[in-house]
Chain A
Amino acid sequence: MKHDIPGDAAWSVPVRAGRAITLTALAENANASMLIIGSDRLDRLNIPDTLKSQMTARIHAGLVLMSDRGLALATVTASTLDWHDCLTGSIPSPLLLLELAKHGLSEADLHGSINFFTKVGIDADARLAFVPGHATVGASVTLRAEQDLLVFISTAPHVLATTPAGGVGVQIGAAEAGGPAGLRPEALRALELVR
């Protein structure tokens, strides 16, 4: 299935285990802030555990996105960008809170988000600066669902951005098996625990 989310909107979609969800930037200033809820509707994306288990401060291909309970939620199987922000969060828009409410979820289910297509650069003193023009039209990232997921996407502009929000295309289809190469042992353990 395919769906284009306009800028400044919010959307939610179930993604079954073994399916792939591909996001595509429809404009240079696209930002897709994603929340991920696991199959039991309680377990959810845990950015700190995802980062410290894989020794990274950014989201890129070859990472497993992990839950509070140490389970693989999704694998980042491909990305045209080597940096998607996950350190600067997102203010939940009223539209995003409505999407949560449609699934019986609320503020208590908020968690650290991934801001796909956004880069907030880090300097030597760990000060941050928004990087304009990071994503170009057509930039894409693909996640393979490792369990049945509920995915929330807000296309509100990143809080540090100075331009209006662009849209994001979403396509959900069959995932390729195997890969990606280079997963760390921690990521393989998180995958093993959901299989």
Chain B
Amino acid sequence: MNPRQLIHEKVNDKQLNKNLEYVMYQLQGNRKKLISERYGDWEALREEGKKVKQNALSRLPELLERFEKNATANGIKVHWSKDNDEANEIILNIAKENNINKILKGKSMASEEIGLNHYLEKKGIKAIETDLGEVIIQLIGEPPVHIVVPAIHKNRFEVGEIFEKHLHVERYTEIEDLNRVARTYLREEFHQLKMGLSGVNFAIADEGAIWLLENEGNGRMSTTVSDIHVAICGIEKVVESFDNAVLLNTLLIPSATGQSVTTYNNIITSPRKESDLDGPKEVHVVLLDNGRSGILSKKRYSASLRCIRCGTCMNHCPVYHKIGGHAYGATYPGPIGEVISPLLFGIDKYGYTLNLCSLCGNCAEVCPVKIPLTDMIRDLRNEKVKDNKDDILGINNLPKNNAERKNMEIFAEVATNPKKWQRLMWFIDKFAPFGKPFAPFINGLKQWTTCRAYPKMDASFHKKIKNMQGVKYE
């Protein structure tokens, strides 16, 4: 399915629209209420959060090495992977060395990014998701629709059908029952667990520790009852100190879900020590570059690496509300996805997602680390058409869009010449209302009118000004 068809399908998916609309407004409302009622100077804290991440990025080589040194001293094995192939291979090898053919996963967007499940499956290793939302979508082979609430497009009836079909239980419609089904199914899996996988929210250089956030307890299970715990960690997740992580945590949770704190904050500093009675015997952290150092080199876009994956930009995006995450066709949807997907995986592959933005600016206003997402989206659009192309991944594979350039040239000429502009306005004023029946045949209007009302075009501005009392019209 090409992107246009995919987007049309999602726009017209009434169930998806209804589910998303409800949840996105809830998430927005909860965040707003919590921050205004319970937090002091949130704006000042955003500024501090921005500084923490910016500072960590500015000293990334030093912090990465310090993290490795301290984590290693704690007994954690640190691996470095430049791309998804290498990260997948490292994880496969850990599994193979330990004769493991099944792993359980806590929620990790990085693992989605590297296509880990698919890769392991091809190598004969089953990777089972354990976050309730991820369980639901894994059963039907879909990617997450949202980075924090991955199955939010499915309602209880749909989930009941999915569980009935795939987990062979009776069809439940109450959420408590559905939760119990998932708990029972996974408890059996946790009981047998040998190798668990997780993401990382913050890697703390000074302590050589990783900090994981979650509500369900599946992440703790995956990282506690297993013999081996593997954590995938984007290199941009490293911060210097505990206090840095506390600050970002304070910004992340209200932004993500409108809570002050998640049920579990799980800080892991080492594998099971000799005196400990439980915990994994091995802890591995796989540091992942996969294009991040490339983003870091770009003046206009390096700030996107500040992202702490709260998802609030998508919760506040009017376009995301209508189409949901799948329409973006990428691991990371919504405004942050529009910026990092082209940069990480190629603007030739994901450049079209940049057009899924109305430049309303909501995302940049709510981003807890103040990433100027709207500016970046506009700049990336410009990269696609400008002459002196920056070395964005895949930029040279973009087809030349001469029509767009020609149209903009014509527009520039008309818009900078008063006579021509007036003539155009006169023409629009006279003839635009008659265009409606022809809209489906006129390029530009055709695309617009397939899912929107015919625009009301009023070009009588000059006439109105002319007729205003006291105006001397020349």
Same assembly: no
